Structure 1
Protein backbone atom coordinates (compact mmCIF):
# COMPACT_ATOMS: atom_id res chain seq x y z
CA UNK A 1 0.00 0.00 0.00
CA UNK A 2 1.31 3.45 -0.95
CA UNK A 3 0.23 6.65 0.79
CA UNK A 4 0.58 10.24 -0.37
CA UNK A 5 0.22 13.00 2.22
CA UNK A 6 -0.37 16.41 0.62
CA UNK A 7 -0.39 19.50 2.81
CA UNK A 8 -0.84 23.24 2.56
CA UNK A 9 0.66 25.18 5.45
CA UNK A 10 1.01 28.91 5.99
CA UNK A 11 2.44 28.95 9.53
CA UNK A 12 3.94 25.44 9.76
CA UNK A 13 1.20 23.94 11.95
CA UNK A 14 -0.52 21.97 9.18
CA UNK A 15 2.88 20.79 7.96
CA UNK A 16 3.68 19.52 11.48
CA UNK A 17 0.42 17.53 11.56
CA UNK A 18 1.13 16.14 8.06
CA UNK A 19 4.62 15.09 9.16
CA UNK A 20 3.23 13.35 12.26
CA UNK A 21 0.66 11.51 10.15
CA UNK A 22 3.20 10.49 7.49
CA UNK A 23 5.71 9.32 10.11
CA UNK A 24 3.09 7.13 11.75
CA UNK A 25 1.95 5.69 8.40
CA UNK A 26 5.48 4.44 7.80
CA UNK A 27 7.96 4.03 4.96
CA UNK A 28 5.28 3.74 2.27
CA UNK A 29 4.07 7.28 3.03
CA UNK A 30 5.36 10.17 0.96
CA UNK A 31 4.74 13.72 2.13
CA UNK A 32 4.61 16.65 -0.28
CA UNK A 33 3.72 20.34 -0.11
CA UNK A 34 0.68 21.10 -2.28
CA UNK A 35 2.69 23.29 -4.65
CA UNK A 36 4.69 20.17 -5.59
CA UNK A 37 1.79 17.69 -5.50
CA UNK A 38 1.40 15.50 -8.60
CA UNK A 39 -1.46 15.59 -11.09
CA UNK A 40 -2.66 12.95 -11.71
CA UNK A 41 -1.96 10.85 -8.64
CA UNK A 42 0.62 8.09 -9.07
CA UNK A 43 -1.13 4.81 -9.95
CA UNK A 44 0.19 3.00 -6.86
CA UNK A 45 -1.39 5.41 -4.33
CA UNK A 46 -4.02 3.59 -2.26
CA UNK A 47 -4.45 6.27 0.41
CA UNK A 48 -4.41 10.02 -0.14
CA UNK A 49 -4.26 12.24 2.95
CA UNK A 50 -4.96 15.93 2.27
CA UNK A 51 -4.53 18.67 4.85
CA UNK A 52 -4.82 22.42 4.90
CA UNK A 53 -5.58 25.33 7.19
CA UNK A 54 -9.12 26.57 7.66
CA UNK A 55 -9.49 30.08 6.25
CA UNK A 56 -12.86 31.82 6.47
CA UNK A 57 -14.58 28.54 7.46
CA UNK A 58 -13.33 26.61 4.40
CA UNK A 59 -10.28 25.78 2.32
CA UNK A 60 -7.99 28.71 1.64
CA UNK A 61 -8.31 30.87 -1.47
CA UNK A 62 -5.61 32.93 -3.13
CA UNK A 63 -6.91 36.04 -1.37
CA UNK A 64 -6.90 34.44 2.10
CA UNK A 65 -3.40 33.05 1.53
CA UNK A 66 -2.20 36.52 0.46
CA UNK A 67 -3.81 38.00 3.58
CA UNK A 68 -2.04 35.43 5.76
CA UNK A 69 1.33 36.43 4.26
CA UNK A 70 0.55 40.10 5.00
CA UNK A 71 -0.08 39.01 8.60
CA UNK A 72 3.30 37.23 8.81
CA UNK A 73 2.81 33.75 7.37
CA UNK A 74 5.54 32.08 5.35
CA UNK A 75 5.71 33.65 1.86
CA UNK A 76 5.67 31.57 -1.32
CA UNK A 77 2.47 29.62 -0.68
CA UNK A 78 -0.10 31.90 -2.26
CA UNK A 79 -0.48 30.49 -5.79
CA UNK A 80 -1.80 26.96 -5.20
CA UNK A 81 -3.65 25.54 -2.24
CA UNK A 82 -5.48 22.27 -1.70
CA UNK A 83 -8.63 23.82 -3.22
CA UNK A 84 -6.89 24.39 -6.56
CA UNK A 85 -5.00 21.09 -6.48
CA UNK A 86 -8.12 19.03 -5.82
CA UNK A 87 -9.76 20.86 -8.73
CA UNK A 88 -6.98 19.63 -11.03
CA UNK A 89 -7.27 15.93 -10.14
CA UNK A 90 -9.06 13.52 -12.48
CA UNK A 91 -11.79 11.21 -11.21
CA UNK A 92 -10.62 8.08 -9.42
CA UNK A 93 -12.27 4.99 -8.05
CA UNK A 94 -9.16 3.32 -6.65
CA UNK A 95 -8.02 5.62 -3.84
CA UNK A 96 -9.20 6.13 -0.28
CA UNK A 97 -9.04 9.77 0.82
CA UNK A 98 -8.69 11.26 4.29
CA UNK A 99 -8.84 15.01 4.90
CA UNK A 100 -7.68 17.10 7.83
CA UNK A 101 -7.34 20.71 8.74
CA UNK A 102 -5.89 22.97 11.36
CA UNK A 103 -8.19 25.54 12.88
CA UNK A 104 -8.23 28.01 15.74
CA UNK A 105 -9.49 26.48 18.97
CA UNK A 106 -11.64 29.54 19.80
CA UNK A 107 -13.90 28.78 16.82
CA UNK A 108 -13.99 25.02 17.38
CA UNK A 109 -17.78 24.99 17.55
CA UNK A 110 -18.45 27.20 14.53
CA UNK A 111 -19.47 25.52 11.28
CA UNK A 112 -17.12 25.09 8.36
CA UNK A 113 -13.65 23.66 8.08
CA UNK A 114 -11.10 23.05 5.35
CA UNK A 115 -11.26 19.29 6.02
CA UNK A 116 -15.02 19.15 5.54
CA UNK A 117 -14.86 21.35 2.43
CA UNK A 118 -12.09 19.17 0.96
CA UNK A 119 -14.17 16.08 1.70
CA UNK A 120 -17.11 17.60 -0.17
CA UNK A 121 -14.83 18.22 -3.17
CA UNK A 122 -13.65 14.61 -3.06
CA UNK A 123 -17.25 13.39 -3.16
CA UNK A 124 -18.53 15.95 -5.67
CA UNK A 125 -15.75 15.33 -8.18
CA UNK A 126 -15.44 11.57 -7.60
CA UNK A 127 -11.80 11.78 -6.53
CA UNK A 128 -11.94 8.63 -4.43
CA UNK A 129 -13.70 7.23 -1.38
CA UNK A 130 -13.70 9.59 1.61
CA UNK A 131 -12.76 7.49 4.63
CA UNK A 132 -12.08 10.07 7.34
CA UNK A 133 -12.10 13.78 8.18
CA UNK A 134 -10.40 15.33 11.20
CA UNK A 135 -9.59 18.76 12.65
CA UNK A 136 -6.53 19.68 14.71
CA UNK A 137 -6.44 22.82 16.81
CA UNK A 138 -4.10 25.77 17.17
CA UNK A 139 -4.12 28.44 19.87
CA UNK A 140 -4.31 31.38 17.47
CA UNK A 141 -4.07 32.11 13.74
CA UNK A 142 -0.29 31.53 13.68
CA UNK A 143 -0.39 28.71 16.22
CA UNK A 144 1.03 27.00 18.02
CA UNK A 145 -0.69 23.64 17.90
CA UNK A 146 -2.42 22.90 21.18
CA UNK A 147 -0.73 20.42 23.49
CA UNK A 148 -1.47 16.85 22.47
CA UNK A 149 -2.50 17.60 18.88
CA UNK A 150 0.51 15.86 17.32
CA UNK A 151 -0.25 12.80 19.44
CA UNK A 152 -3.86 12.97 18.23
CA UNK A 153 -2.57 13.18 14.65
CA UNK A 154 -0.49 10.03 15.17
CA UNK A 155 -3.50 8.24 16.66
CA UNK A 156 -5.63 9.35 13.69
CA UNK A 157 -2.98 7.94 11.35
CA UNK A 158 -3.28 4.62 13.20
CA UNK A 159 -6.99 4.51 12.35
CA UNK A 160 -6.16 5.22 8.70
CA UNK A 161 -3.58 2.44 8.51
CA UNK A 162 -5.94 -0.09 10.09
CA UNK A 163 -8.79 0.55 7.64
CA UNK A 164 -9.65 -2.20 5.17
CA UNK A 165 -8.17 -1.51 1.73
CA UNK A 166 -10.87 -1.12 -0.92
CA UNK A 167 -8.88 -1.57 -4.12
Structure 2
Protein backbone atom coordinates (compact mmCIF):
# COMPACT_ATOMS: atom_id res chain seq x y z
CA UNK A 1 0.00 0.00 0.00
CA UNK A 2 1.17 3.51 -0.81
CA UNK A 3 -0.54 6.37 1.03
CA UNK A 4 -0.43 10.15 0.77
CA UNK A 5 -1.20 12.23 3.85
CA UNK A 6 -1.91 15.91 3.12
CA UNK A 7 -2.40 18.28 6.03
CA UNK A 8 -2.81 21.98 6.74
CA UNK A 9 -1.60 23.26 10.09
CA UNK A 10 -1.24 26.73 11.61
CA UNK A 11 -0.10 25.93 15.17
CA UNK A 12 1.23 22.44 14.54
CA UNK A 13 -1.63 20.47 16.13
CA UNK A 14 -3.00 19.17 12.83
CA UNK A 15 0.55 18.32 11.76
CA UNK A 16 0.98 16.22 14.90
CA UNK A 17 -2.23 14.32 14.15
CA UNK A 18 -1.14 13.82 10.53
CA UNK A 19 2.18 12.39 11.72
CA UNK A 20 0.43 10.00 14.13
CA UNK A 21 -1.83 8.81 11.30
CA UNK A 22 1.13 8.48 8.91
CA UNK A 23 3.12 6.52 11.50
CA UNK A 24 0.26 4.02 11.86
CA UNK A 25 -0.18 3.74 8.08
CA UNK A 26 3.56 3.19 7.72
CA UNK A 27 3.10 -0.15 9.43
CA UNK A 28 1.33 -1.49 6.35
CA UNK A 29 3.05 0.36 3.52
CA UNK A 30 4.85 3.44 2.28
CA UNK A 31 3.57 6.84 3.36
CA UNK A 32 4.32 10.28 1.96
CA UNK A 33 3.31 13.12 4.28
CA UNK A 34 3.19 16.70 2.99
CA UNK A 35 1.65 20.00 3.98
CA UNK A 36 -0.97 21.54 1.73
CA UNK A 37 1.49 24.07 0.30
CA UNK A 38 3.72 21.28 -1.05
CA UNK A 39 1.06 18.67 -1.89
CA UNK A 40 0.95 17.32 -5.43
CA UNK A 41 -2.19 18.01 -7.46
CA UNK A 42 -2.41 14.42 -8.69
CA UNK A 43 -2.62 11.31 -6.56
CA UNK A 44 -2.24 8.68 -9.26
CA UNK A 45 -0.05 5.86 -7.97
CA UNK A 46 -1.41 6.08 -4.42
CA UNK A 47 -3.71 3.52 -2.83
CA UNK A 48 -5.01 5.80 -0.08
CA UNK A 49 -5.38 9.54 0.44
CA UNK A 50 -5.66 11.08 3.90
CA UNK A 51 -6.56 14.79 4.19
CA UNK A 52 -6.59 16.80 7.41
CA UNK A 53 -6.98 20.42 8.37
CA UNK A 54 -8.23 22.74 11.08
CA UNK A 55 -11.85 23.82 11.28
CA UNK A 56 -12.24 27.59 10.91
CA UNK A 57 -15.60 29.35 10.65
CA UNK A 58 -17.46 26.00 10.59
CA UNK A 59 -15.52 24.49 7.64
CA UNK A 60 -12.15 24.33 5.90
CA UNK A 61 -10.00 27.42 6.28
CA UNK A 62 -9.97 30.27 3.79
CA UNK A 63 -7.16 32.74 3.14
CA UNK A 64 -9.04 35.29 5.28
CA UNK A 65 -9.49 32.94 8.26
CA UNK A 66 -5.83 31.95 8.12
CA UNK A 67 -4.79 35.61 8.05
CA UNK A 68 -7.10 36.34 10.98
CA UNK A 69 -5.57 33.45 12.95
CA UNK A 70 -2.14 35.01 12.50
CA UNK A 71 -3.31 38.56 13.25
CA UNK A 72 -5.67 37.98 16.16
CA UNK A 73 -4.49 34.70 17.64
CA UNK A 74 -0.74 34.78 16.94
CA UNK A 75 -0.68 31.66 14.78
CA UNK A 76 2.98 31.10 13.90
CA UNK A 77 2.26 29.83 10.40
CA UNK A 78 -0.41 30.40 7.77
CA UNK A 79 -0.20 28.20 4.69
CA UNK A 80 -0.49 30.02 1.39
CA UNK A 81 -2.62 27.13 0.11
CA UNK A 82 -4.91 25.40 2.57
CA UNK A 83 -6.66 22.12 1.96
CA UNK A 84 -9.67 23.98 0.48
CA UNK A 85 -7.51 25.49 -2.27
CA UNK A 86 -5.55 22.27 -2.72
CA UNK A 87 -8.75 20.28 -3.23
CA UNK A 88 -9.82 22.82 -5.86
CA UNK A 89 -6.56 22.11 -7.73
CA UNK A 90 -6.61 18.33 -7.24
CA UNK A 91 -7.22 16.36 -10.43
CA UNK A 92 -9.67 13.48 -10.52
CA UNK A 93 -7.77 10.22 -9.98
CA UNK A 94 -7.47 7.84 -12.94
CA UNK A 95 -9.10 5.15 -10.79
CA UNK A 96 -11.19 5.61 -7.67
CA UNK A 97 -9.05 5.32 -4.56
CA UNK A 98 -10.14 5.51 -0.93
CA UNK A 99 -9.84 8.81 0.89
CA UNK A 100 -10.29 9.57 4.59
CA UNK A 101 -10.44 12.95 6.28
CA UNK A 102 -9.85 14.41 9.72
CA UNK A 103 -9.86 17.82 11.31
CA UNK A 104 -8.74 19.56 14.47
CA UNK A 105 -11.21 21.72 16.33
CA UNK A 106 -11.43 23.78 19.49
CA UNK A 107 -12.78 21.64 22.33
CA UNK A 108 -14.63 24.39 24.20
CA UNK A 109 -16.84 26.01 23.31
CA UNK A 110 -18.18 23.24 21.07
CA UNK A 111 -18.94 24.73 17.69
CA UNK A 112 -20.79 23.24 14.73
CA UNK A 113 -19.16 22.57 11.39
CA UNK A 114 -16.26 20.41 10.30
CA UNK A 115 -13.36 20.87 7.90
CA UNK A 116 -13.16 17.08 7.63
CA UNK A 117 -16.79 16.73 6.62
CA UNK A 118 -16.45 19.45 3.97
CA UNK A 119 -13.21 17.90 2.64
CA UNK A 120 -14.85 14.46 2.52
CA UNK A 121 -17.71 15.90 0.47
CA UNK A 122 -15.25 17.52 -1.97
CA UNK A 123 -13.28 14.30 -2.32
CA UNK A 124 -16.45 12.33 -3.01
CA UNK A 125 -17.37 14.79 -5.76
CA UNK A 126 -13.92 14.22 -7.30
CA UNK A 127 -14.53 10.48 -7.51
CA UNK A 128 -12.74 9.25 -4.39
CA UNK A 129 -14.20 6.45 -2.29
CA UNK A 130 -15.15 8.04 1.05
CA UNK A 131 -16.71 5.16 2.96
CA UNK A 132 -14.82 5.82 6.21
CA UNK A 133 -16.44 8.50 8.36
CA UNK A 134 -14.38 11.64 9.02
CA UNK A 135 -12.87 12.17 12.46
CA UNK A 136 -12.31 15.21 14.67
CA UNK A 137 -9.43 15.68 17.11
CA UNK A 138 -9.82 18.32 19.81
CA UNK A 139 -7.45 21.07 20.93
CA UNK A 140 -7.42 23.42 23.92
CA UNK A 141 -8.24 26.91 22.65
CA UNK A 142 -7.14 28.15 19.25
CA UNK A 143 -3.49 27.34 19.60
CA UNK A 144 -3.69 24.02 21.43
CA UNK A 145 -2.19 21.81 22.62
CA UNK A 146 -4.15 18.75 21.61
CA UNK A 147 -6.27 17.23 24.35
CA UNK A 148 -4.65 14.37 26.22
CA UNK A 149 -4.59 11.07 24.30
CA UNK A 150 -5.66 12.60 20.98
CA UNK A 151 -2.51 11.37 19.23
CA UNK A 152 -3.19 7.85 20.45
CA UNK A 153 -6.77 8.20 19.25
CA UNK A 154 -5.48 9.39 15.85
CA UNK A 155 -3.30 6.30 15.54
CA UNK A 156 -6.22 4.06 16.50
CA UNK A 157 -8.49 5.82 13.96
CA UNK A 158 -5.90 5.21 11.22
CA UNK A 159 -5.84 1.54 12.18
CA UNK A 160 -9.62 1.37 12.02
CA UNK A 161 -9.55 3.02 8.58
CA UNK A 162 -7.01 0.48 7.33
CA UNK A 163 -9.20 -2.37 8.58
CA UNK A 164 -12.42 -0.89 7.17
CA UNK A 165 -10.81 -0.41 3.77
CA UNK A 166 -9.19 -3.85 3.76
CA UNK A 167 -5.69 -2.43 3.22
TM-score (norm 2): 0.91
Structure 1, unaligned stretches of length 5 or more?
none
Hey, what does 1:40 align to over in structure 2? 42
Supply the distance in 2 between the matched residues of 1:107 and 1:90 (Cα, whole angstroms).
Answer: 36
For the residues of structure 1 that align with 2:109 and 2:114, how far apart are their CA atoms? 10
Q: Which runs of 4+ in 1 moved over 4 A?
A: none
In the alignment, is the contact (CA less than 8 A) between 1:46 and 1:94 conserved in 2? no
Structure 2: gaps (5+ residues): none
How does 1:1-167 map onto structure 2 within 5 Å?
Answer: 1-26=1-26, 27-41=29-43, 43-70=44-71, 71-77=73-79, 79-92=80-93, 93-108=95-110, 110-126=111-127, 128-132=128-132, 133-165=134-166
* Inter-partner Cα distance in structure 2 for 1:143 and 1:131: 29
Is the CA contact (8 Å cut-off) linking 1:105 and 1:137 kept in structure 2?
Answer: yes
- The Cα of 1:76 is off from its aligned counterpart by 4.7
Q: Is contact 1:5-1:50 (8 Å) kept? A: yes
* Pair 19,137 (structure 1): closer, same or farther in 2 beyond 3 Å: same
Structure 2 distance, partners of 1:107, 1:115, is: 18
1:19-75 Cα deviation digits (max 9, x unpaired): 00000111511110110000111x220110000000001000000011111121123
Quick check: 2:140–2:146 contact (8 Å CA) kept in 1?
yes
- Cα RMSD between the aligned structures? 1.5
TM-score normalized by the length of structure 1: 0.91
> Alignment partner of 2:105: what SS?
strand
> Does the C-alpha gap of structure 1 residues 165 and 90 become closer, same or farther in structure 2, counting only changes over 3 Å?
farther
Matched residues in 2 for 1:139 and 1:29: separation?
29
CA separation in 2, counterparts of 1:86 and 1:47?
15
